[in-house]
Amino acid sequence: MIGDHNVPAGATRSRHIFCEVLSKVETDAPRDEWRNRDDDNFKEIRAKSARWIADNIAAIDSARPEMPKGFSNRLGRNWRVMFAISDLAGGKWGRVVRDAALKLRREHDEDQPWHIRALKELRRYIREVHSDNVQKPVSTTAFVDWLLEDPASHWHLYPPGRKITVVQISLLMKRWYHVKSEPIGPKTTRNRGWKRPTDFAEYFLRVLNDPLKLAHSLTKTRVKRR
């Protein structure tokens, strides 16, 4: 798609490919140089590829390849054929393609919006810090301190380029997940946080595909609509 000015953000935008097209100048290669090239090597590769596909199309179509953790929904569908082909090729190729997929996903995660990163970090915080009781209230101060423990963390460069604050993380989670921070603990501490981490359970499940280990009834809380 050329031009992105009128494409809505979110899922619609993520299903487009944007191409920046600039005007040709005199120093650009002549148009003839852009014609498709072909030679005997390409003809042989093309013929072998067509024959392999013809021989294996039924197996590829019916394949249900093993998915790496987190490769569900659209991500899993995008990679299913690649995994199926690599498994059929045999040898090391199944592992090589899955390693490449995981690497690409990690690189993609680094470019994800801040609210998705925050949700992932909160899920990891609950798993690592509150492993004994995932329903324990989460202090926003403790959570931010945990985010900033790593001096190389991107949370040291939260827009406009400073360390994220307790107020900012609270506003971020309230805006995107409709969960407000509130007073927790003894009144004398004046501490604030998320009193019920289970309020995020639906988002952990549906956004991250990483559910809390709770009774199934707790994950049925409906997401509040804007």
pLDDT digits (tens, 9 = 90+) for 55-103: 999 999 999 999 987 787 778 899 999 999 999 999 999 999 999 998 8
Q: So what's the pLDDT on residue 221?
A: 46
Percent of the chain whose pLDDT exceeds 70: 81
CA 138 – CA 177 distance, rounded (Å): 15
pLDDT tens-digit profile of 117-172? 999 999 999 999 998 888 899 999 999 999 999 888 889 989 888 999 999 999 99
Residue 138 C-alpha from the chain's centroid: 24
According to DSSP, the residues that pair with 191 across neighbouring strands are: 184
Q: So what's the pLDDT on residue 214?
A: 61
CA 183 – CA 139 distance, rounded (Å): 9
Q: How far apart are the first and last CA of the chain?
A: 30
pTM assigned to the model: 0.57
The encoded tokens of residue 195 equal 């009193």
